[in-house]
A and B are shown apart, each in its own frame.
Chain A
Amino acid sequence: MPKINNNSFLRILSPLVAIFSLVAAILALVQKNNFENKNTVLTLTIGIISAFLGLLLGYLFLKVYKKRPLSKVFIAHTSDDKEQAEIIIRNLLKHKIKVIDEDEITIIGEDVTERYKLILKDLDYVLLLYSKSSISDIYFNEIAKLSKSKKIIPIVMDEGIQIPQSISKFPSFKNSKNGIDELAKKLVTS
């Protein structure tokens, strides 16, 4: 017996069922309603106008509530530094800096660097968390190499870490409350 492709089946079936069901539901409601006593078209037109006004109000609310981020920052770290990275992210978010965490673009079985290339053009800065574990991490170093076209900010996580020479020319910050506050202020004012 030939196999039925489940997705192809749903591709054809779902629009048909949606159209049939919604039209049937609407007809059932309209049939028992007092629409015949009123100007149905006018009622629906008023409703649609109000709906679009609702959408417009929602859009204006969005514009006011969710301001554009002051900076878009990517934070690269290893799994060992995850907790520290989360503290840094929370501090930067307080200053309306949008932070994209490495975890957000990581999908099991997929190359992180390929996904990183896709978002790289939208970034303003790249934070590289240098620690004992990240300094020798292949993926971390690959991301550092790909970020050369962007403004790089190295953050020293552990004492005595030697930042690679190609990165050491960028001003670095220490992983302390003062260090991160100073970084956030610089990102906001830059």
Chain B
Amino acid sequence: MLQMNETLAHPYFREFIVPLITIFFTIAVKVVSRKDSFIGITRDDFAIGFDLIVTSIILLVTYYSGLATQIHNNIANNPELCRQKLEMFPWVLLFSICGLWSLSTIVRIYGWQNGQSKKLRIWPGVILPTFTGIIYLLIVINYIA
């Protein structure tokens, strides 16, 4: 039987289990917190791209904060690499926030059906942000690992 630390340290846990759990729980929590009168499945339930990007940005900020603390306390294994990574932090954060903001503008302009309908369009409203969120999350998970 695998020990807990061995399970967590296994590459497949990071590459397979973490994205799976993140996406499942994002959908599940969204649905559970929904108003009771909204019975049934809607497109909005699968529009989780923004949640994933925000989660990824928070993961990144926490990671960079940890790196900065390691350098400050002189406990970093590879201080030079940590410094190089930290130099990228403002740019990564700036581009991530700009990307998130522009993507939300795309959804606002192109993502909703015309007229009275309050439904999201399937491609620009659901698939584009969700797919972008998934790719961004996968890259961030691999980066901070």
Contact B19 A51, beta carbon cutoff 8 Å: yes
B39: CB under 8 A from chain A?
A: yes
Contact B136 A26, beta carbon cutoff 8 Å: yes
Shortest C-beta distance, B94 to chain A (Å), equals 8
* Contacting residues of chain A (6-34) with chain B, CB-CB under 8 angstroms: 7, 10-11, 13-18, 20-22, 24-26, 28-33
Shortest C-beta distance, A94 to chain B (Å), equals 9
Closest to B97 in A: A21
- Of A66-74, A123-131, A148-156, the segment with at least 4 beta carbons within 8 Å of chain B is A66-74
- Measured between beta carbons, the chain A residues less than 8 angstroms from B23 are 51, 54-55, 57-58
- Measured between beta carbons, the chain B residues less than 8 angstroms from A69 are 39-40
- Measured between beta carbons, the chain A residues less than 8 angstroms from B19 are 47, 50-51, 54
In the bound assembly, the distance between CA atoms of A153 and B41 in angstroms comes to 27
Shortest C-beta distance, A110 to chain B (Å), equals 8
B58: CB under 8 A from chain A?
A: no
In the bound assembly, the distance between CA atoms of A25 and B43 in angstroms comes to 28
In the bound assembly, the distance between CA atoms of A109 and B37 in angstroms comes to 25
In the bound assembly, the distance between CA atoms of A46 and B142 in angstroms comes to 12
Given contacts A54-B24, A66-B39, contact A29 B105 (CB under 8 A): no
Given contacts A51-B138, A54-B21, contact A61 B92 (CB under 8 A): no
B98: CB under 8 A from chain A?
A: yes
Closest to A32 in B: B85
A186: CB under 8 A from chain B?
A: no
Taken residue by residue from 94 to 111, chain B's Cβ proximity to chain A (1 for < 8 Å, 0 otherwise) reads as 011011011101100110
Chain A CB within 10 A, most for which of B21, B22, B106, B142: B142
Contacts from A to B (Cβ < 8 Å): 7, 10-11, 13-18, 20-22, 24-26, 28-33, 35, 43-44, 46-51, 53-55, 57-59, 61-63, 65-69, 89, 93, 96, 98-101, 115, 118
Contacts from B to A (Cβ < 8 Å): 12, 15-17, 19-24, 26-28, 31-32, 34, 36-41, 45-46, 84-85, 88, 91-92, 95-96, 98-99, 101-103, 105-106, 109-110, 116, 130, 132, 134-143
Could you name 22 residue pairs across A and B whose Cβ atoms are closer than 8 Å?
A10-B105, A13-B102, A14-B105, A16-B102, A17-B98, A18-B105, A22-B99, A22-B103, A22-B136, A25-B136, A29-B143, A32-B143, A44-B135, A47-B16, A47-B138, A54-B27, A55-B46, A59-B41, A66-B34, A69-B39, A69-B40, A115-B116
